[in-house]
Each structure stands twice: as C-alpha cells, then as structure tokens.
Amino acid sequence: MYEVDKIYRRPTQSKGKRKSRSKKNEKNRVRNVIMNFRVSPTEKELIETRIKLTGMLKSKFFIQSCLYQTILVKGNIKTFTEIKKQIEQISKQINKNPNLEELEPEQVESLRIILEILNTLFRKE
C-alpha cells in the first residue's frame, strides 16, 4: 500500500489535509464575500470587452467601477425612500455627536453618494 501511495502522491501532499495555496494570502485575505448578478449575453460580451481593454482583473474592474464611477439615477419612490432612511440614520448620529469628524466611514460614504445622486437628479442643464 505504501508504494501505491508513493507513486500517486506528490511529496508535497499531506495525507487527509489539503494545503492552502499561500498561507500569507489566507491570513491577509480581506475579500471573502461573493457578489453575483445576472446579465444578458450581449451585456456580458460588452462588459468582457471593456475589461479586456482595461487590462484589469475582472474583480478589480468591478470593484473600481462600482466604487468610483459616476452613478446615473432616475428618481423613483424606491430611491427617495432609501435616501430618506440613510439621512435619518446620519441625522441621529449627528444629534448624538455634532462633531462631523466622528461620523462612521460608512455614513460619510452614504452621505457622499446621496449628495452625488441628488446633484445628478436636480442638475439644471
């Protein structure tokens, strides 16, 4: 039995345990959440073409696109309801502590996005 094991196993393989690719990567891994969405075949083709043209990895492309691209929003009741909820949460935090420098980073980002959306919706051209 030992000789069969020796023939079919690489010396780096351990019995029963799977080695991780890189212990350094495992310890410092921050991106452990998966996000999925559906697109049409045409949209997939267009997106993949854009990704190839940038030379970026898909994950980096999507992160950069989602975080740093201008958002085009068409106002509807769902948009305004969500904006209202976010503003109420931020307002409560400001009332507790009026020093704006102590807002949580997520709230600062929410406020920045809300202002960007409102600016887009009410821009006079």
Question: CA dist 37 to 34, 61, 62, 124, Å?
Answer: 10, 15, 11, 33
Residue 106: what residue type? E
pLDDT of residue 60: 92
pLDDT of residue 69: 81
Distance, in Å, from the CA atom of 103 to the CA atom of 96, rounded to the nearest integer, reads 10
26's tokens = 């495992």
Q: Which residues contact 121 (CB under 8 A, 6 or more apart)?
A: 73, 75
What are the per-10-residue average pLDDT scores of the chain (125 residues)? 52 54 60 90 93 92 87 78 87 79 80 81 66
End-to-end CA distance of the chain: 79
- For position 24, what pLDDT does the model report? 54
> How many angstroms separate the CA atoms of 92 and 89, rounded?
5
Q: What is the pTM of this model?
A: 0.51
CA distance 49 to 69: 18
